[in-house]
Amino acid sequence: MVEFPEKFDSEEELDDFISEPSAQLIDLCRNWKGPTVVLGIAGKMGYHLGMMLVKARDRSGSSGEIIGVSRFSDSEARRKVEEAGIRTVAADLLSPDAAAGLPDAQRVVYMVGRKFGTAGSEELTWAVNTLIPQAVCRRYAGIPIVVYSTGAVYPRVPLESGGADESLPLTPLGEYANAAVGRERIFQYMSGVTGTPICLVRLFYAIDLRYGVLRDIGEKVASGETVDLNMGYVNVIWQGDAVNQSLLAFSQCAIPPRPLNVTGPEIISIRDTAERFAELLGRRAKFSGTPATDALLGKTDRTVGLFGPPRVSVEKMIVWVAEWIKAGGRGLNKPTHFETRNGDY
Ligand SMILES: NC(=O)c1ccc[n+]([C@@H]2O[C@H](COP(=O)([O-])OP(=O)(O)OC[C@H]3O[C@@H](n4cnc5c(N)ncnc54)[C@H](OP(=O)(O)O)[C@@H]3O)[C@@H](O)[C@H]2O)c1
């Protein structure tokens, strides 16, 4: 059992904690052999997922190289991934020949995506989210793939429903969310065509101290900016729990693909969260807008039934984010735009 710290004093400490695998994950990978390939490792979550794979492999006594693929547009991200003991392969997966050059794998995590910058370059978002999946399924035909999808594939649901479950029809607003539905549909189609078992992880808002919905709210309260309440409620999950649960999802890969909501079971109020930050930061929270009676929310009954609840509570995350902001901890400057209600990113 991992001890929860009061706060984090460095990014190394934070990265180490986020990438801590659960006993359940160590158990799952005990019999894994051969390479695990992580496509899109250079993003906000990939380093933690790669590190968690390394730790789970070493502690379970299993074998197999961990290999990370990305364009590595940020060379610092590549250095960090390699230092964690992960081999890297640079590839632009949109290029027609890229898939053929990918390393062999016994299992694949698919984290490639494009969201921000969609408005004005819609065609690129559709290309990344729907062309690459076809090439990947052909290259890794028959090999289990955990695919990072998003909770944004659902429409907004009434608050009293408690959230969308995995059977809700996928009718979201906006080009990004529809391209994410496209990504799922291509994986679903190609799963049948190529005999590839897949689990579609519909993730809602991972929380790191350097980015995420809580950092967005905490920063606004700390700097005296107004917090927009129009999207009044969200679900969030500690990034370490999100990564851990998505790796446990290898046990759920199937033909046809199974969708799985990954987020926290609590619906959190943006107003209450901002008030809690105000208390912790010694500031006054300012608000604009009125919470609507619907929001982008997901139910996690299926996932909690399979893997148990996330390890970290929302209150713990708020306290950690507040301490991090107070200490001047680095942020990624990548706001989530959780307040967006029209699907434009
Ligand atoms: N973080 C969240 O809270 C959250 C919530 C819901 C869903 N998701 C989804 O979960 C996945 C992982 O999340 P994330 O936050 O780590 O995403 P991210 O920061 O957007 O990372 C996406 C990754 O894809 C790579 N990539 C993009 N285009 C590529 C291409 N043509 N060829 C090769 N690699 C390419 C990028 O690295 P390079 O630029 O170096 O290639 C990057 O490593 C994404 O699909 C994201 O949309 C995340």
Q: How many structural domains comprise the chain?
A: 1
By residue range, what is the domain housing residue 250? 11-208+238-265+296-311
Query: Does some domain include residue 151?
Result: yes
pTM of the model: 0.97
In a domain, 284, yes or no: no
User: Per-residue pLDDT tens for 226-246?
Assistant: 999 999 999 999 999 999 999
Comparing C-alpha atoms, which of 190, 172, 310 is closest to residue 240? 310
Ligand 1 pocket mutation, candidates 41, 45, 108, 175, criterion most atoms within 8 A of CB: 45
Tell the residue nearest (CA) to atom 8 of ligand 1: 150
In a domain, 329, yes or no: no
At residue 209, the pLDDT reads 98
The answer as to whether 328 is a domain residue is no
The stretch 114-127 carries a mean pLDDT of 88
147 falls within a domain: yes
Diameter of the chain measured on Cα atoms: 57
Cα–Cα distances (Å) from 250 to 12, 108, 166, in that order, read 28, 9, 17
196 lies in a domain? yes
Please report the pLDDT score of residue 344 as a whole number: 84
Ordered DSSP codes for 73-140: SSHHHHHHHHHTT-EEEE--TTSTTTGGGSPP-SEEEE-----TT-TT-HHHHHHHHHHHHHHHHHHT
Determine the residue type at 70: S
92 inside domain: yes
Q: In the predicted model, what is the mean pLDDT of residues 47-54?
A: 98
CB atoms within 10 A of CB 75: 10
At residue 267, the pLDDT reads 97
For ligand 1, residues with CB inside 6 Å are: 40-46, 70-73, 91-94, 111-115, 128, 148, 150, 203, 205-206
Q: Using one digit for the tens of pLDDT, what is the confidence trace for 69-95?
A: 999 998 999 999 999 999 999 999 999
Question: Which tokens in the block code for residue 96?
Answer: 């027609």
pLDDT at 117 over 80: no
Q: How many angstroms separate the alpha carbon of residue 303 from the centre of ligand 1?
A: 22
Band (pLDDT 50/70/90 cuts) for residue 3 is confident
What is residue 1's predicted lDDT score, i.e. its pLDDT? 55
**158-177 confidence digits (pLDDT tens):** 999 999 999 999 999 999 99
Between the CA of 111 and the centroid of ligand 1 the distance, in Å, is: 5
Residue closest to 112 by CA, chosen among 139, 130, 96: 130
Residue 200, both tokens: 């579609």
The CATH number assigned to the domain holding 242 equals 3.40.50.720
Ligand 1 pocket test target in 86, 112, 136 with most atoms within 8 Å of CB? 112
First-to-last C-alpha distance (Å) of the chain: 39
225 belongs to a structural domain: no
Whether residue 270 contacts residue 234, with contact meaning beta carbons closer than 8 Å, is answered with yes
Task: Give the integer Cα–Cα distance in Å for 286 and 130.
Answer: 40
